[in-house]
Amino acid sequence: MKETQIVKVNPDSPDIQEIRRAASTIKSGGLVAFPTETVYGLGADGLRADTVDKIFLAKGRPQDNPLILHVASPDDILRVATEVPPAVDKLVQLFWPGPLTLVLPKGPNVPDVVSGGLPTIGVRMPDNIIALTLIAESGTLLAAPSANLSGRPSPTQASHVADDMWGRVDLILDGGPTRLGVESTVLDLTEDPPLILRPGSVTREELRDVLGHVEAPVRKSEGRPSSGHVGPGMKYPHYSLDIPLFLVEGQPQAVIKRIQEEAGKYRSLAKKVGVISSLESKEHYLDYADVVKSVGSRYDMTQVAADLYRILRDFETYKVNVLFAEGFSEAGLGFAVMNRLREASRGRIIYV
């Protein structure tokens, strides 16, 4: 077991010596967890197969599940991709640094273990000064999936990383809570039209405004690609909890009524019930459930996305027997939020 260390870093003005210490760990083949604007990443030298192997081992992640390479500059794309479609320049100008991963044809210097054996590679430039400085100081590109055990909710604060990865990583850079809270949008530019493999904070509406026709083939029941395409973080189930989660979708008043009914049934069986609600609906569940937590206003999906994983993890500490979650509109960022909730439900979806 590794001797994991946590180093607090100022998220606005990180101490360069602290970052260089982490970069030294990367250079020596170690693993460093670090904040991005989306979730915490688990970083290793992405151009060395031996160090990337350590990511899969630490996470318990299947090796055919591709990783994303994190870069410090758009120029780094040329280091890992054999072909750069014309759309890349426009997307980079608008959305980098930021939560958009571009899937491109993989170059020969990228180890096959990074791409899960696929001929493509996902590339992203994070919008976080700690992450960007770490990449630059490491002198390489960082392969960095979310810094959690495979299948668990992604970490949005350093304590989540410590809960899952203590003794599995060398260093955790604690830069405070992440800003966005859901992983990057993954856009496959090797397809025509481009294909959203995973929705995120860069919305399908924004991408369609830029590119015109963009496909987003996501099955309602599971939130997974229905076309057979595989992208980073998409092949295997994610966001697993130790408790069953039921997602209730429909008009708000109908959703409230159904959750009240279902919660009552479980409480009559002496089961402890939890509810994840919108801010507007929270008071309607207080007499029906043991623990009710608002994930934010249904009219502010930015807040909902930022708090979602933290709320999911919190519920595991409340020892409830069953958990119900309200559905949200799929417009804008709601598309990514509903993708994550459907994943967490494992198909336990109630339509009303």
pLDDT, tens digit, 9 for 90 and up, residues 268-284: 999 999 999 999 999 99
List of E strands, 234-326: 245-249, 273-277, 291-294, 322-326
CA distance 216 to 169: 35
Structural tokens at position 350: 């109630």
Q: Indicate if the pLDDT at residue 226 is higher than 50.
A: no
Task: Please say whether the dihedral angle defined by the alpha carbons of residues 92, 93, 95 and 97, taken in this order, is positive or negative.
Answer: positive
Q: Is 139 exposed, middle or buried (0-12, 13-18, 19+ CB in 10 A)?
A: exposed
CA distance 308 to 350: 20
Give the model's pLDDT for residue 234. Answer: 54
Residues 290-339 have pLDDT tens digits of: 999 999 999 999 999 999 999 999 999 999 999 999 999 999 999 999 99
Q: Which of 208, 210, 209 is nearest to 196 (CA)?
A: 208
pTM above 0.85, yes or no: yes
Nearest 5°: the CA angle 43, 47, 52 is 45
Nearest 5°: the CA angle 149, 234, 316 is 40
Q: In this structure, are residues 34 and 40 in contact, taking their beta carbons and an 8 Å threshold? A: yes
Q: Give the C-alpha distances (Å, rounded to integers) separating 310 from 38, 84, 95.
A: 13, 37, 25
Q: In this structure, are residues 162 and 172 in contact, taking their beta carbons and an 8 Å threshold? A: yes
Q: Indicate if the pLDDT at residue 255 is higher than 80.
A: yes
CA distance 262 to 122: 42
CA distance 18 to 7: 8
Average pLDDT over residues 210-232: 63
Q: Indicate if the pLDDT at residue 7 is higher than 50.
A: yes
Average pLDDT over residues 71-99: 97
Give the model's pLDDT for residue 64. Answer: 86
Give the model's pLDDT for residue 2. Answer: 83
Between helix 129-138 and helix 16-27 the angle, nearest 10°, is 50
Q: Indicate if the pLDDT at residue 242 is higher than 90.
A: no
Q: How confident is the model at residue 224 (pLDDT cuts 50, 70, 90)?
A: very low
* Mode of pairing for the β-strands spanning 245-249 and 349-351: parallel
DSSP 127: S
CA distance 113 to 37: 25
CA distance 311 to 16: 33
For each of the domains in the chain, give its residue range(s) and CATH number, in order of start: 5-211 (3.90.870.10), 245-351 (3.40.50.11030)
Q: How confident is the model at residue 220 (pLDDT cuts 50, 70, 90)?
A: very low
Residues 23-66 have pLDDT tens digits of: 999 999 999 999 999 999 999 999 999 999 999 999 999 888 99
Q: Which of 211, 210, 186, 212 is nearest to 199 (CA)?
A: 186
Q: What is the mean pLDDT of the chain?
A: 94
- 3-state SS, residue 125: coil
Give the model's pLDDT for residue 222. Answer: 44
CA distance 166 to 33: 11
